[in-house]
Amino acid sequence: MLAVVLAGTGLRAIGVLDDRRTGRLNALAYYVALPALIFTATYDQSVGDLLSPALLAGLLVVLFATAALAWLVHRDRWSRARRSVAVVQSYHSNLGYLGLPLVAATFDGEVTAIASVILGIVSLVQVPLTIVVLVGINDADAQVREELRQIATNPVLASLVAGLAVGEIGVAVPSTVAAGLDGLGALALPLALLCVGASLELDLPSVDAGATLSVVALKIAAMPALAWIVFSTLGVDPAALTAGVVMFGTPTAVSTFVYTTEIGGDEGFASLNVFVTTVASIGSLFVLIHLIG
């Protein structure tokens, strides 16, 4: 993971991955590889087998509890612009670009299928929550309706719905089609890592070690630890426990920098946190997967 992320950063530095080419890679990962991975993970599964009431409750508890903890930790600290970013980046996980591809590359099909459902459910909650937090703290005049409309047309959610629908109806997917989609899905992790590496920027003048460390501690340490406690307490099955803990152990999503740019917040601080949590999570995820595996 670290090698591919650094390769993406290096290719951007020498001009190979400029904005146009990085945009094309992002589109390939987001609109082709990731939806293919999600569909192949869920098209032969039943919704009831993947999503239990305990798992659903646990996902919501972990997400909102981490957001509330971030609010308490960061309240009345720094400027509004920096505080809003610190809160958002303490809970907003990189579930699509890193979480699901990493789970698919590491665990079996059952865990991957559950991780796909987790991606869909948590995305439906964390994206609107992030928009509300940024708008509320910054008193931003943003087009919230347009941002929320984009959620409804999200290809990740569309592929999840399609895969679960095929699984519930019992439609047979031809083996050649399944094999082709499986091959495309295998590209999700390397493409995502390259794009993340090409998108990372370190703005040294904006470095605030204390603020960034608090975000890192909440995102890649407190959140997966809380997930492990909550899912264990609720008694979810081992596959769901594994998928949930690893997905919540992912770094801050790159999209939080995009939302900060569009809606309001400290852009330099947002970019720094994405960079640091991504690099730090490579080590933390190795430990987490070893423990949970």
Does residue 220 carry a pLDDT above 80? Answer: yes
Amino acid identity for residue 268 in this structure:
G
What integer pLDDT is reported at residue 237 of this predicted model? 93
- pLDDT, mean over the chain: 84
What integer pLDDT is reported at residue 170 of this predicted model? 76
Does residue 142 carry a pLDDT above 70? Answer: no
Residues 6+ apart with CB under 8 A from 83: 74, 75, 77, 137
Sign, Cα dihedral of 39, 251, 254, 18: negative
Where does the pLDDT of residue 62 fall: very low under 50, low under 70, confident under 90, or very high at 90 and above?
Answer: very high
What integer pLDDT is reported at residue 201 of this predicted model? 65
What integer pLDDT is reported at residue 224 of this predicted model? 96
Helices marked H in 139-266 — which ranges?
144-152, 155-169, 175-185, 188-199, 209-217, 223-234, 238-248, 255-263
What integer pLDDT is reported at residue 221 of this predicted model? 95
Contact 243, 236 (CB under 8 A): no
Does residue 208 carry a pLDDT above 90? Answer: no
What integer pLDDT is reported at residue 144 of this predicted model? 57
Number of residues assigned to the chain: 293
Q: Which of 29-33, 51-55, 244-248, 276-280 reaches the highest mean pLDDT?
A: 244-248
Does residue 143 carry a pLDDT above 70? Answer: no
Complete domains list, the chain, with CATH: 2-292 (1.20.1530.20)
Contact 270, 89 (CB under 8 A): yes
92-115 pLDDT, tens digit per residue, is 999 887 898 899 889 988 999 999
Is the pTM above the cut of 0.85?
no
Q: Cα–Cα distance between 56 and 174 in angstroms, integer?
A: 32
Contact 161, 154 (CB under 8 A): no
Contact 206, 86 (CB under 8 A): no
To the nearest whole percent, how much of the chain has pLDDT over 70? 92
Mean pLDDT of 11-17: 87
Where does the pLDDT of residue 234 fall: very low under 50, low under 70, confident under 90, or very high at 90 and above?
Answer: very high
Complete DSSP assignment for 8-59: HHHHHHTTSS-HHHHHHHHHHIIIIIHHHHHHHHHTTS-HHHH--HHHHHHH
Complete DSSP assignment for 238-268: HHHHHHHHHHHTS-B-THHHHHHHHH-S-HH
